[in-house]
Each structure stands twice: as C-alpha cells, then as structure tokens.
Amino acid sequence: MTHVLGIELGSTRIKAVLIDETYATVASGAHDWENRFENGVWTYHLDDVWVGIQDAYRELIYDAKKSGISPNIASIGISAMMHGYLVFDRNNQQLVPFRTWRNTMTEQAASLLTEAFSFNIPQRWSIAHLYQSVLNREDHIQNIDFITTLSGYVHWKLTDEKVLGIGEASGMFPIDSESLAFCTRMINQFDELNESERVGWKLNDILPKVLLAGNRAGVLSEKGSKLIDPSGLLRTGIPLCPPEGDAGTGMVATNSIAERTGNVSAGTSIFAMIVLEKGLSDLHKEIDMVTTPAGKPVAMVHCNNCTSDLDAWIKLFEEIIEALRLDIDRTTLYRILYNKALEGEADGGGLLSYNYLSGEHLTGFEQGRPLLVRSPESKFTLPNLMRTNIFSSLATLRLGMEILTNKENVHIDQLLGHGGLFKTKGVGQRFLAAAIGVPVTVMESAGEGGAWGIALLASYMLNGSDSMSLENYLSEQIFAKMVGTRVEPIKEDIDGFNTFIKRYKRGLPIERAAIENMQ
C-alpha cells in the first residue's frame, strides 16, 4: 500500500498527515508554534519552520509505527497560511524577516495598486508588501531576485522549484482567468509604476511560476529529504504537487470547489469562499478575488470577528457554574447554551449585539468594542441572548455576502460549513442557512483540515489528473461515500435574521460611539 504525505503550516500549528489509498488519515503529527512581534513586524523565523516540520513528521512516523504502519510515501503536498512577504537575493539569502499576512503596514501601497489595477488589492497580499517596500525605498529592494509565500518557500527548499499553486498565487498577485497565470496587463502596470524608482528588476522575473492542481511540481531532493527527516530515512525523488494556501486546501477539504458552491470557516474569524461562474462586474473593496486550486474564480468575504465574544459569554456562564459547584463540562455547556438559542424568538427578542473585539474593515471600524444593547421593551432571556450572540457572529459576513448576492447577482446552491461555530450539531448551521438564505451542509470530514486537503491534492496529481477534473475527483472518488448533514433555510429563521440585520445596520453608530468614548 502506498501513502500520501500532507504538511500544512498554520498560524499556530504545523500539522503533518499520512493518508492511505482510501483517503483516510492513518497517522498524524503536529508541532505548535507562534508568530513573533519583532521590530514592529509580525513574523516567524525560518529556522522555526524546519524545526516544526521535522517535529511534526517525527510525531507522524511514531504514530504510524504505533498502528503497525510502515509509511510508503508516493507523493507529498505542502500548504501554509496565505499571503505575506518572503524575498531572497540571487544567492538565495533572505533579505528581510518574513512579513506575515497579519501585518497592516501596507495601506498606502494597497490603495495605490487597487486604483491602478481597478482590482482590489488587500493589505495582506504579497504584492502590497512588495510595493510598500518600494515606496519606502527600503535598502533590500535593489537586491530582490525572488519573492514567494511560506508554502512556496518550503516547496522551493524541498525541490529547488520556484512555483506556486494557482490558488496560493492568487493571494500574491491577481490572476488572469483566461490564461490561468499572473495577469500580464497588471504586471506591466506595476513595472510602469516602478520605473521612477529604478529597482533593477521586472516583476515577472522575480515571481514564481503558476501551476494548476494536478500538475507535477518537482521531486524531493536529497537536501529536501533531510529538511523533513534528518535521519535520512525519507527517500528522495518523491513527486510533489503544487504548493497551496490554507484557503485552497480548505476548499478541497470541504469539497467546495464547484461553481455556485462555497465554504464558510467560522471560528475566531469568519470567512466565506464562493466559487463563481464568472468574474465580478465591478470593484468591491470588501471582496477579495482569488481562485480555487484548479483556477476557477473565487470571491472571498473575510471578517475579523466571529466567536470570540460568544465564547466570552459562555466562559461567564462557566464561572457561574463553578461558583455554584456544579459539575458540567465545557462541551456539555456549549451544547446546552447553543441549543437554547433555538428556543429564542426569531429575531432575538429585540436584543442587539456587536462582537467586535478587533476592528472590522467590512463595516469601516479600525477598532472594536464588544457590545450588548437592549431597549426597555426587549425580551432579555437566555434563549434570546444566545440567539443574538450567534446572529452577531454571522452578521458582518451577511453584509459582505449581500454585495455578492444583491449587487453582483451571484447564485449559490449550497455552502459547506466548518469550524467551531458548527461543532454543536444543527445550531450554527441552521442560523448560517438563515443568514445567507441557502442550504448549509456540514460534513463529517470537516474537521480534517488543510493538511488533509493538501494530501488530497497530492493524491489527485498521482491518481486522477489525467482522467478527470479536480471537481469530479473529489466528488466521485473521495466524498461520494462521506456522510454530511444538510440543513435547508427555515422561513421563520430567515425573517427573524432579516429583522435582526436591519437593527444591526441601524445600530452601527452605537458601536462607533463606544469606540470614541470607551478607551
């Protein structure tokens, strides 16, 4: 039996999984790590990348041996958090510390590029970081020979190939949906913007090559093998699929890469990835345009705040339980309180909540203040409080989705939900269906994550790319027998959420006043 190795470098954990020929995870390993805030920059040290990968792989091998499995790795895939800024000189030396997606130092560049391209360039995109460095006339600019992302860097060191999967590439620089490569028109525009700066390079010469799902993206070198497994037991010559970002592997892991489908990831933050039938007709600064790993256009609605304030309320109830010396574990408490929300009035009884622990670009807030507001007529009950807090977790996403459905006439047949909001069966799922007005499915595999998603892409490169599309491969070979729960929107819930969202929009000045008056 052969196996496939998937490795994903997330923001707090590096995870490695081994899947077998049935696509089941048979072994896994993980390594916790954290970003650092150094000299005003959120970063990770590249030495820590390899320490983490080696630790996760070592745990995976140990886990496999416990189960009597001798890994026979036939292909490998690398994934990581998208965006950010990694630049190297012609001697392959890193020029500045890795600037992650979390940095918000590129507002000037992002604004200028958005205007020049007539295409939304978010601050976290690699091209925004590059152009901001040019505008700042940073010393390293003249020496740049290669720019990439974290997954592209790891893949390069393992294979000597300077490539990216198209989904990951679409978070560096805009993609041309016809050529399925970086947009030539915008590359030329960028070079024109740079002419007066005399940077000494053309953008096309320093970007990685764009590859599609199913393409071969090099083989594991002798040096690369030892970067994963210093013991030298991992054989060389293993083929790798194109490296992808966490958004792309999330789409794969939830089987949401077909047109008119999408996935919603709901945890500390919340974002929706909607696969479009065609590109958007207009520029919307609230919407990021990326692609699936197969190159189909994807509209991304990203919101900074989701369950953190909701979790804080539940922690408060947990303190009450501890004070009463009752024995209720946290999982049970979540289940009880989430299900209480189903007993609430359709609109939450007139309550209003803002879950903004941090700023929210979609509604124009650079800072946040969590708020619960009610009138004397509001019905302040536990079911209404829980329903309102869950509604609040979905509200900003709803506002972003309105741009797609109302202004762009985007049609969505179903959404796939994954993340902490959906752990209590049937609650977050039902309210998301009401908020967006489309069916929501939660698969049993939704907890597998991006390392499993990139392993599936590595498997597709070996076993399916010559005979079927990625969409068909996932649907027919992998997800056909997997169990999922589908919830249709309920009219009463839709009407209730619509009433709530009107109240939410009217109340935004309350949030503004709280920020201005509560320091």
Residue 444 has pLDDT above 90, yes or no: no
Given this model, what pLDDT does residue 198 score?
A: 84
**3-state SS class at 42:** strand
**pLDDT grade, residue 25 (50/70/90)?**
very high
DSSP characters for 78-93? EEE----BEEE-TT--
pLDDT tens per residue, range 265-322: 888 889 899 999 988 889 998 899 999 999 999 999 989 899 999 999 999 999 999 9
Q: Are 473 and 464 in contact (CB under 8 A)?
A: yes
Percent of the chain with pLDDT over 90: 83
- Average pLDDT of the segment spanning 217-227: 98
**pLDDT grade, residue 446 (50/70/90)?**
low
Complete domains list, the chain, with CATH? 3-246 (3.30.420.40), 251-304+400-487 (3.30.420.40), 308-392+493-517 (no CATH)
pLDDT tens per residue, range 135-148: 999 999 999 999 99
Q: Report pTM.
A: 0.86
pLDDT tens per residue, range 92-101: 999 999 999 8
Given this model, what pLDDT does residue 28 score?
A: 95
| Cα distances (Å, whole numbers) of residue 359 to 181, 364, 501, 505 | 34, 8, 19, 16
Q: Are 213 and 460 in contact (CB under 8 A)?
A: yes
The Cα angle at residue 412 between residues 411 and 417, in degrees rounded to 5: 160
The owner of tokens 């009138």 is: 375
Residue 177 has pLDDT above 80, yes or no: yes
- Average pLDDT of the segment spanning 122-140: 95
**pLDDT grade, residue 154 (50/70/90)?**
very high
The owner of tokens 């001697």 is: 91
Given this model, what pLDDT does residue 517 score?
A: 96
- Average pLDDT of the segment spanning 150-175: 98
The span from the CA of 76 to the CA of 461, in Å, is 10
Given this model, what pLDDT does residue 332 score?
A: 96
Given this model, what pLDDT does residue 9 score?
A: 96
Residue 445 has pLDDT above 70, yes or no: no
Give Cα 161 to chain centroid, integer Å: 24
- Average pLDDT of the segment spanning 208-230: 98
- Average pLDDT of the segment spanning 336-353: 98
Given this model, what pLDDT does residue 101 score?
A: 86
495 Cβ partners below 8 Å, 6+ apart?
346, 347
497, burial (CB in 10 Å: exposed 0-12, middle 13-18, buried 19+): buried
**DSSP code of residue 423:** S
Please give the mean pLDDT across all residues of the chain: 94
Residue 65 has pLDDT above 90, yes or no: yes
Q: Among residues 463, 460, 468, which one has the least CA distance to residue 211? A: 460
| Cα distances (Å, whole numbers) of residue 504 to 252, 348, 393, 501 | 33, 12, 12, 5
| Cα distances (Å, whole numbers) of residue 313 to 317, 322, 333, 502 | 7, 14, 11, 24
- Average pLDDT of the segment spanning 473-493: 91
Given this model, what pLDDT does residue 448 score?
A: 67
pLDDT tens per residue, range 231-256: 999 999 999 999 999 889 989 998 98
Within 10 Å of residue 315's Cβ, how many Cβ atoms? 11
